[in-house]
Amino acid sequence: MRFFILFAFILLFNQSFCQDQQFNVIDFQVIDGDTIFVSNVPEIEVLSFKNQKELSRYYILKRRVLKVYPYALAAKEKLEEIRNELDSIPKRRQKKRYTKEVAKWVKEEYTERLKNLTMSEGKILVKLIYRETRTTSYEILKSYRGRFNAFFWQTMAKLWDNNLKTEYNPLNIREDMLIEHILIQEEIEAALEE
């Protein structure tokens, strides 16, 4: 009799327990007798740091990258807009006038905000502009404002320990690799929040 009561209790408990649980059905394939589950799992990169000091440098870099990345995106959008507009302008003189107007607008719009960047944030911004446009800041200045302006601003950048000809190379330069990792992680987090 005790056995039947115990058995009934287990049946009732098991039935109520199973009703509360939700089961996920996952796609799978059977290949040569092996069962392979098919699922979209986000890629995760694992970073290793030598010590706490290197880890804190990473977090400082992350803060700087996230601060200047919107400026790089704005530069990319503005350059695309300028290229489209210049393609529709037939005369060279009108193109020159247009680029001067855009330069004046950019100066008015961004000077105060960009003045507040530190030197290291400025270096990161130059790299991110290259990342977004595949063109160095020097080449952008040279093509839209002329050689003299590009030379002048390159000289000013050199005085402040920067280089407008800096390229972004995440495969060979560790700082660039970390910057790329930061941006990819932010894109993944943004996608997951949506």
**Residue of 73, 60, 55 lying closest to 121 (CA atoms):** 60
Question: Cβ contacts of residue 95 below 8 Å, gap of 6+?
Answer: 86, 89
DSSP state of 34: E
Domain ranges of the chain: 52-193
Tokens of 131: 């990342």
At 8 the pLDDT is 57
Going by C-alpha positions, the residue among 131, 117, 116 that lies closest to residue 175 is 131
Q: What is the pLDDT of residue 41?
A: 66
The pLDDT score that the predictor gives to residue 188 is 80
Measured distance CA(68)–CA(116) in Å, rounded: 11
Position 152 scores a pLDDT of 93
Q: What is the residue-level pLDDT of the chain in tens, covering all 194 positions?
A: 555 565 555 655 555 555 555 656 667 777 888 777 777 766 666 677 788 999 999 999 999 999 999 999 999 999 999 888 888 888 889 888 888 888 888 888 888 888 899 999 999 999 999 999 999 999 998 988 889 999 998 999 999 899 999 999 999 999 999 999 999 988 888 777 77
State which amino acid sits at residue 38: V
What pLDDT score does 22 carry? 62
pLDDT at 2: 58
Residues 6+ apart with CB under 8 A from 150: 138, 139, 141, 142, 164
